[in-house]
Structure 1
Amino acid sequence: MRKLAEIEDLSGLVRDALGPGCRVGAVDRLRGGSRKGVYRIRVDGAPVPSVIVYSWAEEENFWPGRSGTHAEDPLAPASGLAPFLAARQKLDGLGARVPRLLLADDSRHRHPADAAVVEDISADTLEALLESDPARATAALADLAATVDALHGHLAPRYGRADPPERGGTANGVSCGQLVLDRALRDLEEASGRERRIAAAEGRLRDRLHALAAPISLRTAYGLVHGELGPDHVLVDTDGRAVLIDIEGLMHFDVEWEHVFLRLRFGRHYPALSRPGLDPQRLDLYLLAMHLSLTAGPLRLLDGDYPNRAAMRGIAEHNLRQALALLP
């Protein structure tokens, strides 16, 4: 039985962050986290009514057989306090709104895993506001667009994580397109072993990936991308600003990789984020690769005991169909 954090596991962290007079009243584990636990802690006797705690305990990671960050591969899953702090520092320095950090703790004295206590922004994600409060969402979307422009315009001569150089993964002589191709081929093989419709089209999908990747060359500058910037990873604060969360995957990379994800996740709202000058060849490759990733990943997650199974199956099914629809 998987043991997730309870009130007694998190109270010490919160008191360290807010002061000894703070009293923890309730703990709610927020839905959606698959690599870390995200908890809303309601408190009394403190300047704020609640805070958020991130816990990177192994029990909070629902991905079977794959954990941690592989520094040599910027597309590998990123999770942990170190990439969180590095990404937060980078974003804050560029003026992007992120939750205020109240405590970072890797001592394991108060909690048996690395953890962070951060500002509780709001119960509203941009995704929810796009449906419930279009006027507020439109203003936040404009702020998000300005933030994305600032990140994508922050160029580096090498691609890789936002971690310090001794930790981050960069590479010479291999294009981002080649990295995406290599991962897409792994995702294709993995999905083929779990889903007969992908298996039936595996050869055609492999040929299509190679054809799309062939014209992509090495660049000399790479923008800063969030890596998983959907409207569910954007909160909206009381000033209407877009607040980025789930930032551990921040990296320098082809900005087309981000734009493909933005287009998929924001749908009809994407024009507010769209920008001219994107490479159509990269967009075509990255779109197919993204659909394969969003097929293989959820299917892999379903091998374990992830609780929200219907949603994961729905994501896999949608992206499977979209990948097959891209075949000529």
Structure 2
Amino acid sequence: MTPARTPLSRDALAPLARAALGPTRRLDTVTRLHGGSKKGVYRLTLDDASTAIAYVWSPDEDYWDAPPADPRDPFSHASGLDVFTASHERLTALGIRTPSLLFADPTHTHLPADAAIVEDLPGGTLEELLRRDPHAAAGALKDLAATLTAMRAHTAPRFGKVALVDDGGSVHGASCEAVVRDRALRDTEEAAAREPRVAAVHDRLDHRLHELFAAVRPRVRHSVVHGELGPDHVLLDADGRPALIDIEGLMYFDAEWEHAFLQLRFGPHYEALRTDDLDEDRLRLYRLALHLSLVAGPLRLLDGDYPEPGPMRGIAEHNLERALEFVRR
């Protein structure tokens, strides 16, 4: 059995906190927040009761055990300070709310890993508010819809991670839809090796992916998308305004990819975010690809020592049922 990973201690994070927040402040307590699978997220509470959030990107905090990321792959493992700061700069330039970056340490001076300190927003997640009081979340959903509109308005002639495209780089793949199809074919292969129900319909899923891909018409411009924008990746500030987190995967891509994910994660609340000018052919391909990704990814994560296996199994099971619907029609 793989030994449990040990969260960073107050003493380990104290030098980073001093560098970010000043030598006169004392770090009182450190709490590792739940849910992170690619980086460690720690709430730092100081001696004056103020708080900040530390992000730590290190192998000990990354449960995916992924190979080194190829930035030319739009869906490569999005983890690290470089993609975080590039995404933060792009969102900030667009006027999109995200927790303020207070300090970044790319030199590993204060920890033997990439690290950053950002503001701690007090309003909790949009997911929590939707569960507790959907009526009270109406304003945040309206603001989030405006955020999505602003992101979609900023386009680029190439697709790929913001960090790459904004620096003039190019990606692998002929088009967004080709990259999605090829990734979905790999996800099907990988899921079939772990799940007999996928293996039983492997060829039918492959055929359906090719069929849906063939219906998609070419596109030459792409907009900013978060890529995994569920309500758990939206924090609320003191005024109840939404702020995007887990932004390392920010890329120029098709808005349909974003909306396929939004529809899946927001469920009945998606109506507040819906837009009517999306390409239905792209949406169909992207929905199936997304379901297959959310089967293969969680099953792969469960091969390791991820500390919350129950929710991951639930994600895989739900998306398996949704993917199978595409070959039962």
Normalising by the smaller structure, the TM-score range is over 0.9
Whole-Å separation in 1 of the counterparts to 2:227 and 2:68: 16
Q: CA deviation at 1:270?
A: 0.4
Change (3 A) 1:246 1:169: farther
CA distance, structure 2, for counterparts of residue 57 and residue 173 of structure 1: 29
The aligned runs of 1:8-87 (5 Å cut-off) are 8-45=11-48, 49-64=50-65, 66-87=66-87
Deviation at 1:4, TM superposition (A): 2.9
What SS does the aligned partner of 2:256 have?
Answer: helix
Give the drift of 1:173.
Answer: 7.3
> Unaligned 5+ residue runs, structure 1?
none
* Alignment of 1:313 onto 2:316: no
What does residue 265 of structure 2 align with?
Answer: 265
Instruction: Give the letter aligned to residue 316 of structure 1.
Output: A
RMSD: 1.5
CA distance in 1, matches of 2:21, 2:52: 9
**How many residue pairs end up in the alignment?**
325
Aligned mates of 2:150, 2:194 — CA distance in 1: 40
**2:125 maps to which residue?**
125
3-state SS of paired residue (1:104): strand
Distance in 1, matches of 2:151 and 2:80, equals: 22
Change over 3 Å in CA distance of 1:291–1:164 after alignment to 2: closer
Identity %: 54
Structure 1 length-normalised TM:
0.96
Greater shift in the superposed pair: 178-187 or 73-82: 73-82
Unaligned runs of 5+ in 2: none
Task: Determine helix, strand or coil for the equivalent of 2:163.
Answer: coil
Residue 171 (structure 1) shift: 3.8
Within-5 A mapping of 1:40-189: 40-45=43-48, 49-64=50-65, 66-122=66-122, 124-165=124-165, 170-171=170-171, 174-189=174-189
- Counterparts in 2 of 1:67 and 1:7: CA distance versus 1, 3 Å: farther
In 1, the alpha carbon distance for the partners of 2:63 and 2:169 equals 24
Q: Distance in 1 between matches of 2:82 and 2:67?
A: 14
Q: Distance in 1 between matches of 2:176 and 2:193?
A: 26
AA partner of residue 21 (structure 1):
T
Residue of structure 2 in register with 1:219 after alignment: 219
Quick check: 2:156–2:222 contact (8 Å CA) kept in 1? yes
1:237 is matched with 237
SS in 2 for 1:152: helix
Please give the secondary structure, in 1, of the residue aligned with 2:206.
helix
State the alpha-carbon separation in 1 of the partners of residues 155 and 201 from structure 2: 38
SS at match of 1:78: coil
The CA deviation at 1:168 is 7.1
CA contact (8 A) 2:164 2:170 kept: no
Cα pair distance change 1:168/1:27, threshold 3 Å: farther
- For residues 246 and 62 of structure 2, the distance between their equivalents in structure 1, rounded to whole angstroms, comes to 14
Change in Cα spacing, 1:167 to 1:234, as seen in structure 2 (3 Å) is same
Structure 2: distance between partners of 1:304 and 1:113: 21
Deviations 1:30-75 (A, max 9, x none): 1110010000011114xx71100000011001013x1443111112
- Give the Å deviation of 1:306: 0.3
Shift of 1:123: 5.4
Contact 1:61 1:67 (C-alpha < 8 Å) held by counterparts: no
Q: Give the 3 Å change call, closer, same or farther, for CA 168–325 of structure 1 in structure 2.
A: farther
Answer whether contact 1:125 1:231 (CA < 8 A) is retained: yes
Deviation sequence 1:120-149 (CA, Å, 0-9, x none): 002510000012133431111111110011
Distance 1:316 1:148 in 2: 27
Q: Which moved more, 1:131-140 or 1:21-30?
A: 131-140
